C-alpha cells in the first residue's frame, strides 16, 4: 500500500477499502495450525512469564483506546486474565499503582502520541513490563516498549483512523489467542478462533459490498440533531468508536452509551430528530438488546441497527456476516465507518482533514 490515492477521492475511502488486504497482512505468517495458536515474534514474553501475568492494563488514546476496550474483552474471554483499558491521557495524570504482576500494553497507530508515550515512560520508570501494539515500525512507542505486536495496517493518512482500528483489534485477537493457548484455552477453541480470523478478509469484503445501501442510509440520517450509539459488552466499544468516527469526520454530535445505561439518563434525549444506532450481535445478549430497541421505539426514536439478522423493531438494519462471537466487534465496526464517511460526504465536510484535528497528537 502506498500514499497513492488509487482511484479513490479521499484517503478515508481508500483506507476503508484497504481493510481486506490489511487484515490479511496482520494474520500472515502468524498462524500456527499445528498447535492451534499464533506466533508473535517480537513479543518478548516467554511462556513462563506469560503464565505469571495476573492482570492486563491497556493504554491508548481515542480510537487506540477503543481498540484497547476490545482487546481487554478478548484477553479476558480467551486467556481468562482480568483485563481493562484506560485512556493513556488519564492514566498518566494519576499516580497509578504499578504492579509487577500486571502486563501493561500501550496501543498507538502513530507510535508518537505524547500522552501514550508519557504513560509508557512513567511505567518504565516504575519497573513495569510494557508491550506495544503499534502500527508505525520503529516509532517512539515501539522503541520504548519491551516488545509487542506490529499491526501492519500500512500507512494511514486520513486523520480519522479506520484500517488501523480494525487491524489493531485483530492484533489483540492474536495476542489473546497466544496468551490463551499457553494458559487454559482448549485446542478446539484455538482452532475455532483461527478459523474465524481466516474468514475475516472475505467477510470484510462482503460488508464493503453493501456500501451503496449504507450511503442511502447516511443521506437519511445526515440531518440528525444528534445521534446516540449503544451496544452491550462486545457491542459497546463498537458503539464508542462509531460515535467518535461520526463526530470527527461529519461534526454531527454523537454520544455512545452502554445500552443498559440508557435508562439511567440518556433516554431523556430520545426523540425523532435524535436517532439511535444500536449494535446487536447475535450473542447471549440479543434479547436484552431487543428490549432496548423497544424502549427507544416507545419514545418515538428512530433506530438503525447493525446486526446479524434483520431487526423488526429497527427502522433499518445493516446485516453483517456472522463469525465467532468473540470476533464480532471487528466486523461490526466496518459498516459504521462507511456510515460516518457517507454522512460527512453528504454534509460536504473536509473528510481527510477534519477541522481542529491532527493525525497524531505529539504535544501535551
CB 355 to ligand AGP: min, Å: 12
CB 25 to ligand AGP: min, Å: 18
CB 338 to ligand AGP: min, Å: 15
CB-closest chain residue to ligand AGP:
62
Q: Which is nearer to ligand AGP, 250 or 311 (CB)?
A: 250
Q: Which is nearer to ligand AGP, 238 or 307 (CB)?
A: 238
d(CA 296, CA 40): 44
Point out which residues bind ligand AGP (CB under 6 A). Answer: 61-64, 108-110, 113, 116, 159-161, 248, 360-361
H helix intervals, the chain: 11-17, 19-27, 47-51, 62-74, 88-91, 114-125, 140-144, 163-181, 187-208, 211-221, 235-250, 286-298, 328-332, 334-346
β 102-108/55-60 pair status: parallel
d(CA 229, CA 243): 6
d(CA 27, CA 153): 11
d(CA 114, CA 133): 15
Positions annotated as catalytic residues are 359
Q: Which is nearer to ligand AGP, 85 or 314 (CB)?
A: 85
Name every residue whose Cβ is closer than 8 Å to that of residue 242 and which is 6 or more positions away in sequence: 229, 254, 256, 277, 279, 333, 336, 337, 339, 340
d(CA 24, CA 199): 10
Q: Which is nearer to ligand AGP, 61 or 197 (CB)?
A: 61
d(CA 198, CA 203): 10
Q: Which is nearer to ligand AGP, 64 or 75 (CB)?
A: 64
β 83-87/316-319 pair status: unpaired
CB 110 to ligand AGP: min, Å: 3
CB 243 to ligand AGP: min, Å: 11
CB 164 to ligand AGP: min, Å: 7
CB 316 to ligand AGP: min, Å: 25
Helix 334-346, helix 211-221: angle, nearest 10? 50
Nine-digit cell string for 223: 440531518
d(CA 240, CA 254): 9
Nine-digit cell string for 308: 446479524
d(CA 305, CA 1): 33
Q: Which long-range contacts (CB under 8 A, 24 or more apart) does 217-220 make?
A: 217/304, 217/316, 217/318, 217/339, 217/342, 218/338, 218/339, 218/341, 218/342, 218/343, 218/345, 218/346, 219/342, 219/346, 220/316
Amino acid at each position: 500500500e502506498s500514499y497513492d490515492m488509487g482511484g479513490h477521492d479521499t484517503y478515508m475511502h481508500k483506507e476503508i477499502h484497504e481493510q481486506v488486504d490489511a487484515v490479511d497482512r496482520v494474520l500472515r505468517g502468524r498462524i500456527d495450525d499445528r498447535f492451534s495458536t499464533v506466533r508473535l515474534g517480537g513479543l518478548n514474553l516467554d511462556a513462563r512469564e506469560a503464565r505469571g501475568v495476573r492482570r492486563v492494563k491497556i493504554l491508548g488514546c481515542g480510537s487506540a483506546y477503543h481498540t484497547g476496550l476490545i482487546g481487554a474483552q478478548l484477553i479476558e474471554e480467551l486467556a481468562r486474565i482480568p483485563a481493562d483499558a484506560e485512556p493513556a491521557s488519564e492514566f498518566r495524570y494519576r499516580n497509578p499503582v504499578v504492579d509487577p504482576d500486571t502486563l501493561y500494553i500501550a496501543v498507538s497507530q502513530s507510535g508518537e502520541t505524547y500522552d501514550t508515550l508519557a504513560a509508557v515512560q512513567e511505567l518504565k520508570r516504575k519497573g513495569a513490563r510494557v508491550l506495544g501494539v503499534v502500527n508505525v515500525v520503529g516509532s517512539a512507542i515501539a522503541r520504548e516498549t519491551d516488545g509487542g505486536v506490529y499491526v501492519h495496517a500500512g500507512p494511514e493518512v486520513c486523520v480519522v483512523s479506520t484500517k488501523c482500528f480494525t487491524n489493531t483489534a485483530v492484533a489483540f485477537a492474536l495476542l489473546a489467542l497466544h496468551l490463551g493457548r499457553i494458559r487454559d484455552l482448549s485446542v478446539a477453541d484455538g482452532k475455532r478462533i483461527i478459523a474465524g480470523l481466516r474468514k475475516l478478509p472475505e467477510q470484510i469484503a462482503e460488508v464493503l459490498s453493501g456500501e451503496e445501501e449504507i450511503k442511502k442510509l447516511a443521506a437519511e440520517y445526515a440531518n440528525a440533531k444528534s445521534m446516540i450509539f449503544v451496544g452491550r459488552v462486545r457491542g459497546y466499544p463498537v458503539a464508542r468508536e462509531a460515535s467518535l468516527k461520526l463526530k470527527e469526520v461529519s461534526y454531527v454530535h454523537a454520544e455512545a452509551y452502554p445500552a443498559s445505561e440508557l435508562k439511567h439518563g440518556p433516554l431523556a434525549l430520545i426523540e425523532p430528530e435524535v436517532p439511535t444506532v444500536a449494535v446487536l450481535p447475535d450473542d447471549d445478549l440479543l434479547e436484552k438488546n431487543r428490549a432496548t430497541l423497544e424502549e427507544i421505539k416507545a419514545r418515538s426514536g428512530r433506530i438503525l441497527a447493525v446486526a446479524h439478522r434483520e431487526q423488526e423493531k429497527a427502522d433499518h438494519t445493516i446485516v453483517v456476516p456472522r463469525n465467532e462471537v468473540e470476533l464480532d466487534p471487528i466486523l461490526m465496526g466496518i459498516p459504521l465507518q462507511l456510515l460516518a464517511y457517507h454522512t460527512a460526504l453528504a454534509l460536504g465536510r473536509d473528510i481527510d482533514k477534519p477541522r481542529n484535528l491532527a493525525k497524531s497528537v505529539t504535544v501535551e
